[in-house]
């Protein structure tokens, strides 16, 4: 059977802030396809609570934002990339406001209104512009509403990318990316999307861990596909664990925004005593890696299931006004955060490493761009500073769109083989997928989590190699499904994380190992090269 084929100027894989920004910034005469694994709005952007870090206040400065980012990144940020990003922060906010995004405002002493800026961990100033505690939802709605006016963008919901297609893979000269094979979840058939340029904006890989604040779509698809196609990846050992996720059996890792600590919330032990001042002079406003390690240490020391975040000392009206969604969700679960502390635990939150790109989002493969959490730009270093992620998405998506416009839209009419499923059958052993899925996420949590050791990492490496072999055999013999695609990608990403962690013989930022507790004198990125391209 012939594979159904589509042809576009640009294929965007992913529909979060990075993907939508790229689509909006490209000329309207370009034909664009945007692939969404689920609904168009489903993704990490939609669930982001905090905000966008930007230099907007007269008492703040670009140099201060740059320095805070460099400090949080523990010596591994690329200073030129940090400056490139921060210098464009106000421009990004202005663009969002022009799109109709409604950020919170407050009345000034002189009666005028200005944007309410909050302060989060690692920041020396109030510079996080937000929409209550649902900034991601507000930005998603603003971007998606404007996208509906762009008739050149066709949105494909419930389409899951399987693999990229490059010229060398089909026996042609060159390495350029020319499209992707994509599974239509409604028909369960693979379709071919040809494109002159491909943009990966699939988000991170936090679903590789047992506990995560991310939605189910965060399975590292873009990173895994780019790696298989021949792209380098870097700094995959730096997985940010958000310190404060709601601990409740029905919460499904509901994130409790860092903004609570920015507005004065305290972290407490079960007996009600504060502990963060013992770990860092910035206490609750220390960078996320320090706070997460402190919580992990106290939970293990005391053998407790969680610690607590308390903002109940603030006025009730203040709490409900600033954090309406957190208040509502906790109340649904029987907790009134205006009266009692919130039980919390750390959870995997952000992938600081990813596919190596330049400031245009361009990868090692011509015509292939990666933007947002899937990318490694050098911005975050060994630890992402709070609310720099949405900023990164929009800055680099804008840059990628500008770079694409500078290229010639040349059609190379190579014959691309049909997707061949003639040798595979329907599986009667899907239990393999669910079992391996659970095993992977549990040993990644236990062995490659907040605190690591050589022994734990080697155990994880042995297990992931066995699982990769099992999943590879399964993938070769049975028809693919969304779960199988995600599991295959998670296996790949887990292996990249473990390899990177083994190579780093120090503790820096988000990578903390009991075997190498000191910093090396010279900070160096961990760069992995696909075996067949090394």
Q: Which residues pair with 8 in a beta bridge?
A: 195
Structure tokens at 25: 């910034």
CA distances to 97, 204, 309, 335 from 285, in Å: 28, 24, 13, 24
CA atoms within 13 A on the CB side of 109: 0
3-class DSSP state for residue 472? helix
Q: Which helix or strand (DSSP H or E) is residue 268 part of?
A: strand 266-268
Calculate the CA dihedral of residues 314, 318, 322, 326 and round it to 10 degrees: 60
Pairing assessment for the beta strands 159-166 and 177-184 based on DSSP bridges: antiparallel
> Inter-axis angle of helices 482-503 and 221-229, to 10 degrees?
70
Q: Is 288 designated active site?
A: yes
Structure tokens at 169: 């893979």
Residue pointed to by tokens 């404007």:
146
Compute the distance between CA of residue 215 and CA of residue 233 in angstroms, rounded to an integer. 23
Kindly tell me the burial class for residue 295, based on how many C-beta atoms sit within 10 Å of its own C-beta (0-12, 13-18, 19 or more). buried
The string of DSSP letters for 164-195 reads EEETGGGT-SS--EEEEEEEETTTTEEEEEEE
The 3-state secondary structure of 316-357, one letter per residue: HHHHHHHCHHHHHHHHHCCCCCCCCCEEEEEEEEEECCEEEC
Query: In 3D, which of 497, 404, 508, 514 has the Cα closest to residue 451?
Result: 514
Compute the distance between CA of residue 267 and CA of residue 248 in angstroms, rounded to an integer. 17
What length is written for the chain? 534
Q: To 5 degrees, how large is the angle CA 377–CA 378–CA 384?
A: 105
Q: Describe the chain by its helix, strand, coil percentages, rounded to 5.
A: 35, 20, 45
453 contacts: CB under 8 Å, gap ≥ 6: 513, 514, 515
Per annotation, catalytic residue among 288, 384, 504, 508 = 288
Residue pointed to by tokens 């590789």:
208
Compute the distance between CA of residue 99 and CA of residue 503 in angstroms, rounded to an integer. 44
* Residue 40 and residue 15 in contact, taking contact as beta carbons nearer than 8 Å: yes
Structure tokens at 139: 């930005």
Which residues are known to be catalytic? 288
């Amino acid at each position: 059977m012939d594979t159904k084929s589509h042809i576009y100027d640009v294929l965007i894989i992913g529909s979060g802030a990075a993907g939508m920004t790229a689509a909006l910034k490209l000329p309207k005469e370009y034909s664009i396809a945007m692939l969404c694994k689920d609904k168009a709005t489903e993704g990490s952007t939609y669930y982001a609570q905090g905000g966008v870090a930007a230099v907007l206040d007269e008492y703040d400065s670009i140099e201060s934002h740059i320095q805070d980012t460099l400090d949080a990144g523990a010596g591994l940020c690329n200073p030129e990339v940090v400056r490139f990003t921060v210098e464009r922060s106000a421009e990004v906010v202005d663009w969002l406001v022009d799109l109709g995004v409604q950020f919170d405002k407050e009345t000034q002493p002189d009666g005028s209104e200005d944007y309410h800026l909050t302060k989060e961990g690692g920041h020396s100033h109030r510079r996080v512009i937000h929409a209550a505690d649902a900034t991601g939802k507000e930005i998603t709605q603003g971007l998606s509403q404007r996208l509906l006016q762009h008739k050149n963008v066709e949105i494909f919901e419930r389409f899951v990318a399987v693999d990229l297609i490059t010229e060398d893979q089909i026996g042609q000269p060159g390495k350029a990316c020319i499209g992707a094979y994509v599974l239509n979840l409604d028909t369960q058939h693979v379709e071919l999307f040809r494109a002159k340029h491909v943009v990966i904006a699939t988000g991170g890989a936090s679903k590789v861990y047992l506990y995560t604040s991310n939605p189910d779509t965060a399975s590292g698809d873009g990173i895994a596909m780019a790696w298989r196609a021949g792209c380098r990846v870097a700094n995959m050992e730096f997985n940010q664990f958000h310190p404060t996720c709601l601990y409740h059996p029905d919460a499904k890792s509901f994130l409790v925004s860092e903004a609570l600590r920015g507005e004065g919330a305290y972290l407490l032990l079960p007996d009600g005593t504060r502990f963060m001042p013992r770990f860092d002079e910035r206490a609750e406003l220390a960078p996320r890696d320090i706070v997460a390690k402190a919580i992990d240490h106290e939970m293990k020391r005391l053998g407790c299931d969680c610690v607590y975040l308390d903002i109940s000392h603030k006025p009730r009206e203040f709490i409900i006004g600033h954090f309406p969604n957190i208040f509502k969700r906790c109340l649904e679960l029987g907790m009134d955060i205006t009266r009692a502390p919130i039980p919390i635990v750390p959870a995997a939150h952000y992938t600081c490493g990813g596919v190596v790109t330049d400031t245009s989002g361009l990868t090692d493969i011509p015509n292939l761009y990666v933007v947002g959490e899937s990318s490694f730009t050098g911005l975050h270093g060994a630890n992402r500073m709070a609310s720099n992620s949405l900023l990164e998405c929009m800055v680099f998506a804008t840059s990628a769109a500008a770079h694409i416009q500078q290229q010639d839209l040349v059609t190379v009419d190579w014959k691309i083989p049909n997707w061949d499923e003639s040798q595979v059958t329907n599986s009667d052993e899907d239990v393999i997928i669910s079992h391996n899925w659970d095993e992977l996420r549990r040993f990644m949590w236990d062995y490659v989590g907040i605190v690591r050791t050589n022994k734990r990492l080697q155990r994880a490496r042995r297990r992931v190699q066995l699982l990769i072999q099992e999943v590879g055999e399964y993938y070769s013999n049975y028809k693919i499904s969304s779960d199988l695609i995600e599991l295959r990608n998670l296996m790949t990403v887990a292996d990249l994380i473990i390899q990177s962690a083994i190579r780093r013989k120090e503790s820096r930022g988000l990578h903390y190992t009991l075997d190498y507790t000191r910093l090396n004198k010279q900070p160096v990125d961990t760069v992995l090269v696909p075996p067949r391209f090394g």
